[in-house]
Every structure is written in C-alpha cells, then in structure tokens.
Amino acid sequence: MDIDPGQPTMEEGRNRRARGRFWPPVRTGLAWSGAVVYPAVTYVTFDHGQQGFTVLMVLASIALTFVVASLLRRRPLPALVLLLLGTVTATMEMRKIEVTYLQTLAAVWAVGYLAATRPRRTSVIAALLAFTAQMGSLFGFPPDQGCSPPYTPHGCAPSGWAASNDQSALLVVVLIGAAWMAGNSARERRTHAEALRAQATARAVTTERLRIARELHDMIAHSIGVIAIQAGVGSRVIDTQPAEARNALTTIEATSRETLAGLRRTLVALRRPEPGADDEGRAAPRDTSAPPREPAPGLADIDRLVASARDAGVRAEVRWQGERGALPPDIDLAAFRILQEALTNVIRHSGADTCRVSVERRKGELSLEIEDDGRGGLPAGNGFGVVGMRERVALLHGRFTAGPRPDGGFRVTALLPLPPVEAR
C-alpha cells in the first residue's frame, strides 16, 4: 500500500491527539497559577514603584492582568475577586489619583463584560463585589489629592477629604451602575435575537414539513383515486370485457409507476441533508444510481391530468383564456397541484361524469376554476385536500373559495397574484 507523504501517519495522528488532550489542562493550570500570584505581583510592583518602576515588573503586572481578565469567561466570580484584589493592593501601596482611576476602570469593565455575557444573578453579584472593593479602597486607602490652605499638622483638612470622597463614591456608583445596565441590555438583546432566530428556524422547519406533506398528499391522493376506480372497473368487467379490463390494468400500472417515481424523488431529496455534503460536512460522492430529477409539474402538464381523469371515468373540459406564457415556478406548481387536487375530489366524491376547468391569465393574476354537477359537497372526515389547496393559495397571498354551487354541484376557485414583471 502506497503512503502519501503529505498525509500524517497513524503514529503522528496519535501523538497529535495526545498533545491535544495534554495542553488544555496545562494552559488552564498555568493561567490560574498566574492569577493566584497576581495580587502579590501587583503589590510588589507598586511598592517598588514609589522609588521608580522597573520595566520587568510593569510588564509582569500587565501580562497577569490580561491573564486574569481572560479567566472571567470561564470562572467569572473567582477571577473577578483576584482582579479586584490586585487593584486594591495597587491603591493601597500607591495612593495616587491615577491609580484609583485605573482601579475604577478595571472594575467597571469587568462588571460590564459579565453583565453582557453571564446570567443576571452572576452579574449582580459581580457588581456588588466591585462596588464593595471600590468603596473599601476609596475610604480605606484614599488617594492623595494634594492640600490647600488651611493646612493641618497631619495633612489636608478633614472636611475637604470627606467632600471629595463623597463625590468619588457617587461617581463609582454611577459608573458601575451604567456598566451593568449597558451590559445587561446587550445580553437581553442578544438573547432576544437568538430567540427570534430559533423561532424563525422552527417556522421554517414547520413550513417545509407542511410543504412536503402537501406535495405527498396531492401526488398520492390523485394517483390512488385513479387506481381505486380503475381497479373497480377492471374487477367488474374482467369476465365480460377483457379488453376493457386490460386497459384498466394498464392505467393502474402506469399510474403506479409514476407515483413510485415521484415518491422516490421526494424521499431521496429528504434523505440528502445538504447538496454535495455528507453527514459530517464532507463532499459527498455523486450518487449515480439515483434517478434523474424531472422538472416540477406545471400548467403545461394539464393534459396529463385530463387524461388521468378520463381514465377514471370523468371527462374534464378545459378552457384557456389569456396568454399561455411561462409562469414563475412557485405559481406554476401551485396551480398544477390545485387543479390536480380539485380533479381528484371530483373523481372520488362528486359522482359526476364531467367537470369544467377554466384557466384565465388576467392582468396581475391567474384565475383557476373547477366546477362539476355532482352531489355538491365533500364527505365529512379528516381530509386534507381543501386545506392543502387553501394553504397553497395563502402562501402566495391569493384568494381561495370552495363550496357547493347554488344550482347544484361543487366549485373551487383560486386567484393567484402574479409578480409585476409577469403581469406585463
């Protein structure tokens, strides 16, 4: 067996899988080890920084800050506690207003991030932790903002310090609250968008299922109706009129083959999850055994419906009015299925020998009408024929009526709007 030098060997594949299982726990352990020592590193950095910062210590503090921030995604509350401890130790060792601003900025960012990505309970706890840390740092280790007269032996006047901290506390409350509300709003918008996408997907699945159900019903009901009638005719005349019985069997065979071919095409389409891909998303080999796909039926195949109805004992008189040009595929298919189902109902339920089919293409719409002189109704039950026709028309924003005629019989009418291009 030849081995492609560009393909990994079995041993290399096992080594890659082993490394893939080994490195994630190692990276996680290293990250949490750095997060645990982060407060101590920050303390040492700012303690030495009073005499002048060193590049190495500053880079270490910045790197560990990003490490702790990255852990907020996995373990938000423990990582937030470590982040707040690091910022509090910074303000404890260097009471500068700039350090206080950095501490507040880090807390506000963490609260906003957790509010946007975590459940409300977690984000509320995070906001309370950040507020507590900020208040403790602000009142426990107030920043040195400078003094102005009158001076006291111990520094600035207490009244000025208290007034400044009150303003800072109010600012902290406003910033943390605004960050939480902004993050929570973003999370709610994202949740709402995901819910809308899920609903749209569910509606699409339901719509597709109903479409397939209509196609199967319209295809099978018509064929089975013709087969049942022809089988009844053949059984009654097989002894007295062998030629007529043979014609009935021929019609049954042709109708059965056509129905089986349609069913196979539908089932093949349903079993193929995605064109050109298998279940794992890889390119699928072409199925040469599958039957070639035939074009969807349309009004051009109305003669086939008339012949099928004639074989079942009902003569359909077709009247065309207006232009007989090409129609949009969805309208063409819907018109064919409506006529097919209406003729099936005439064959199975009306008891009439003839029916009239009118197809008229007017300006801006396509009109279909099927009427008979039969019993004037449908049997009670759970039939889906009229429901399917009504749904097809509704999907195309048309108008549909079905019911007994005043002078006897039954009438089905459907008005399908045509696009402006087609209307011209």
Whether residue 170 sits in one domain with residue 319 = no
Number of structural domains (the chain) is 2
Whether residue 307 sits in one domain with residue 193 = no
Is 150 domain-assigned?
Answer: no
Whole-number pLDDT of residue 407: 84
Element (H, E) at 382: none
Which residue bears the tokens 């975590």? 118
Least confident piece of the model among 52-56, 100-104, 270-274, 298-302: 270-274
Whole-number pLDDT of residue 227: 79
Is 292 domain-assigned?
Answer: no
Whether residue 197 sits in one domain with residue 303 = no
Q: How would residue 1 be classed by pLDDT, with cut points 50, 70 and 90?
A: very low
Whole-number pLDDT of residue 309: 85
Answer with the residue of higher pLDDT: 47 or 120.
120
Q: Indicate whether 156 pLDDT > 80.
A: no
Q: Does residue 313 come out as left (phi exceeding 0), alpha (psi in the -120 to 50 range) or beta?
A: left
Portion of the chain with pLDDT greater than 70, in percent:
76
Rounded to 10 degrees, what is the CA torsion of 330, 332, 334, 340? -150
CATH code at position 356: 3.30.565.10
Answer with the residue of higher pLDDT: 334 or 165.
334
pTM over 0.75: no
Is 407 domain-assigned?
Answer: yes
Whether residue 184 sits in one domain with residue 42 = yes
Mean pLDDT computed over 342-349: 86
Q: β-pairing, 315-322 with 354-362?
A: parallel
Look up the domain containing 324 and give its range: 299-424
pLDDT tens profile 368-411: 999 998 887 665 554 567 888 888 888 888 999 998 988 888 99
Element (H, E) at 7: none
Least confident piece of the model among 120-134, 197-211, 306-320, 347-361: 197-211
Q: Indicate whether 185 pLDDT > 90.
A: yes
Count Cβ atoms within 10 A of the Cβ of residue 389 and give its class: 0-12 exposed, 13-18 middle, 19 or more buried. buried
Whole-number pLDDT of residue 360: 93
In the three-class reduction of DSSP (H, G, I as helix; E, B as strand; rest coil), residue 217 is classed as helix
Question: Mean pLDDT of all residues in the chain?
Answer: 77
Q: Indicate whether 25 pLDDT > 80.
A: no
Answer with the residue of higher pLDDT: 148 or 34.
34
